[in-house]
Amino acid sequence: MHLKAADVGMRYGRRVLFRQLSFRLEGGRSLAVTGANGAGKSTLLRILAGVLTPRAGTVRLHVDGEPVPDEDRRLYTGLVAPYLNVYDGFSARENLAFLAQARRLPDRRARIQAVLDLVGLAGRADDLVSTYSSGMKQRVKYAAALLARPPLLLLDEPSANLDAAGLAMVERVTAHHREAGRLLVVATNVAEEAARCDAALRIEAFR
């Protein structure tokens, strides 16, 4: 399993975010993406997820020795980001059930319970998300990202809104993901989070 970006470039009008950005990430390893606010970290993660097309270059995800078609890459990716929302009018369990049905996941009930346990929401799983704190909503995002056991996990500002227990949950989740031989990319300006990754890429180096 590996993820490869080759000469990726992105711009909005005359504003260049990055150009000729390249890296290769092997299964079981992690990459920190750093840079100033507005430098393009979130944009790069959306490109890696397959939800945004770069102006130049390519991104290739290989799973089980086979390339994943660009149009399918989002199905192999879990994304946690501040701009993603969960349904406040649903419970956490209902949010996950909706996603599991949309993805046609097998053994949905057991898988939903497993990720609720993993992120520490089992005790509040049937309460409406509208009653959750911002940190609990962040945990729902993690549960949603992990639901399908994605080969590629992308975390944008992974510690946003989390207390000490939430940060411990993130460390536990990411360690388990890497131990399973999967891929992890973290966009962060928190030095401790970047230091826990195997390699780092600074966006401004590709201007």
Average pLDDT over residues 113-136: 96
Q: Checking phi first, is residue 40 left (phi over 0); if not, alpha (psi -120 to 50) or beta?
A: left
Does 24 have pLDDT greater than 90? yes
> Can you give the pLDDT at residue 77?
97
What pLDDT is recorded for position 54? 96
Residue-number span of the structural domain to which 69 is assigned: 2-206
- Residue 61 confidence (pLDDT) above 90: yes
Dump pLDDT digits (tens) for 2-16. Answer: 999 999 999 999 999
For the segment 183-194, the average pLDDT, to the nearest whole number, is: 94
Domain holding 57: CATH number?
3.40.50.300
Per-residue pLDDT of 127-181, as tens digits, reads: 999 999 999 999 999 999 999 999 999 999 999 889 999 999 999 999 999 999 9
| For residues 175-197, average pLDDT | 94
Q: What's the domain count of the chain?
A: 1
Percent of the chain whose predicted confidence (pLDDT) is above 90: 90
Q: What is the pTM of this model?
A: 0.94
Tell me what pLDDT residue 103 has. Answer: 87
Predicted pLDDT at 160: 87
Mean pLDDT across the stretch 59-84? 95
Is the pLDDT confidence value at 55 over 90?
Answer: yes
Mean per-residue pLDDT over the chain, rounded: 95
Q: Is the pLDDT at 89 greater than 90, yes or no?
A: yes
